[in-house]
Chains A and B, each alone.
Chain A
């Protein structure tokens, strides 16, 4: 398509702000309409920007590394759950592409600076705050903030920058370059893959944004009417679980289906499940509900600690990673551990996964840490502090389970709970086998956000404990849908309200941008985004052997459910079928014709056949 003058664009500004931290200089770079339509925003746009930056070639923690905050066409619109942004970078944990999403006023203020994305590269000479005010950029010293935890940092910034600023900050874990450190804002986190460590390596304690550039919508009146309808649907049965109970209510269901990872994936059910389940917590603790910016669902449920004062956000992933995975049965410990991870800026899934793995290694006598044991709440809390400070054993725990396995030896990589170095979320692959494939092939590593294939496993379409001829297609289709949701960006918890997701997505995009986009074009956009991420990984050194699960999961049935078993040969066949479904080679390489077809031929596929 011919590129229009960016001043005539709707829903976009048509520029990206590139900040060189070494030089202390910023440049606004044009984003052609053709590329915006091909990648939409968020996760897709961030991937495009990283490919353009040739970021795969740089060490993730080097000054040459780039990190993008990518907004999206829906940000600032009245559509519920649209105040989201993506942080996209090369992960220091996986050395592959990493995109983590979060919601807050940062998305709205960031887009109002007049840019669709902000790319940081280089390294500040001293700990700094990057201030972007109405598109003007400068660095301010952050020495007085260095060492502060996330909410204290945010509070100090609010005092220092009153009047419409929004903040993205790192905690001590990011400063110390823990490889799974988060970026925090308003208590929400861009959590997975270590984007906080990337900011820490750049000496950036916080990014502060403010702007007043209005965003023009192509069809404002119908957009408001559509948004009203969507909000109304968001109060219906499809989101009731999130509104009334929160994600943590998964725990008892997963436990009943023996799909709840327990004791470092050694079991699929947990004797302490009732004790830490939100249904029990609600009987003894006060509970409040919170919302991300611009959300009508409000899935966040906060529970009081024993002191009666502090409240902790409890989500399924915290509960499984810091509860069943480490065999912690005391709800107060799980809540405290979640709170400490949030304050220190640690990804709860990677923290719990790394610690559960370390606990198993210590139990087997391969790791000299007699204090670190399954079920010991004190040791969990102690280890979290050591990780963030990178003290003693914490220094190697800060590297994640894959590198810890390399450090320990004894073939312990077989039971390190990771794919491509990213710790696994709370979905036992042997019990949920469409999801198992989604976890293995995910560009980001073991990932429940970019693949929602568990949805299929929780349906009558498949036998969840059996890989079938449909598994590859279903896993790919789930990933495609997520690619659109993560690029538009809408919250995944809204997905149940759409009867035909692609039709609705096309309608929303039309209303904000004016583009007449058919469902088929959106499906091609999804294929492009997924393939672009794979291309990044190939440039970063991907090899086919990475698309698998930990060896233990492919060689042993789940002890508490012998029907839950995966075989290495059939699993490899499913990965091949997935690759072929994507029009990649059977091994997963991308041929020149496909790159040309998807308009990705500007980006070479280094390596491969």
Chain B
């Protein structure tokens, strides 16, 4: 299965890319596994934004522009897009 991950704000500056496509061997996976995989690929992102299989509280994830998620056990599917961003939206 393929997933697309888009980075915004600090996650983008740490990852050094605006987006990436991840491939998993299984038909579905969990949000926690996605976070771990991104952390493997982008060590600076892992250092600043990740603790284990979770994002630090200053960062958020959203699936497909719809729901915000923070449960590592949440299932994500082929074709989903995960947005990683800074939690604070103050302007």
Contact = CB atoms under 8 A, between A and B. Distances in A.
Interface of A: 237-238, 240-242, 244-245, 247, 249-250, 252-254, 256-258, 279, 315-317, 320, 425-427, 448, 452, 454-455, 457-460, 463-464, 492-493, 495-496, 563
Given A252-B8, A253-B85, A452-B90, A237 B48 contact: yes
Given A237-B48, A237-B49, A253-B85, A245 B90 contact: no
Nearest to B68: A460
Contacts of A279: 12
A564 B88 CA distance: 21
Contact of B60 (A249, A459, A495): A459
A496 B87 contact: yes
B32 to A, nearest CB: 14
Contact of A257 (B48, B57, B62): B62
A317 B90 CA distance: 10
B91 A460 contact: no
A455 B9 contact: no
12 contacts: A237-B48, A237-B49, A237-B59, A241-B58, A242-B88, A242-B90, A253-B8, A256-B6, A256-B83, A455-B89, A455-B90, A495-B90
A68 B20 CA distance: 52
Contacts of A315: 91
A70 to B, nearest CB: 22
A280 to B, nearest CB: 11
Contacts of A238: 57-58, 88
Please report whether the interface of chain A is mostly helix, strand, loop or mixed according to DSSP: helix
A241 B9 contact: yes
B38 interface: no
Nearest to A255: B8
Interface of B: 6, 8-10, 12-13, 48-49, 56-60, 62, 65-71, 83, 85-91
Contacts of A245: 9-10, 13
Contact of A496 (B8, B12, B58): B58
Contact of B56 (A237, A425, A454): A237
Contacts of A320: 91
B48 A258 contact: no
A455 B88 contact: yes
Contacts of A426: 91
A471 to B, nearest CB: 16
A460 B88 contact: no
A464 B68 contact: yes
Nearest to B91: A316
Contacts of A492: 90
A426 B91 CA distance: 8
B67 A463 contact: yes
A153 to B, nearest CB: 27
Given A458-B68, A460-B69, A460-B71, A250 B83 contact: no
Given A242-B90, A256-B8, 17 more contacts: A244-B13, A253-B83, A253-B85, A253-B89, A254-B89, A256-B6, A256-B65, A279-B12, A426-B91, A448-B91, A454-B89, A455-B87, A455-B90, A458-B87, A459-B87, A495-B90, A496-B58
B82 to A, nearest CB: 12
Contacts of B12: 279
Contacts of A455: 87-90
Contacts of A460: 67-71
B89 A258 contact: no
| Residue in A253, A279, A496 with the greatest tally of chain B CB atoms within 10 Å | A253
Nearest to B9: A249
Contacts of A458: 60, 68, 87, 89
Contacts of B13: 244-245
Nearest to A320: B91
Contacts of A496: 57-58, 87-88
Contacts of A256: 6, 8, 65, 83
Contacts of B10: 237, 240-241, 244-245
A446 to B, nearest CB: 13
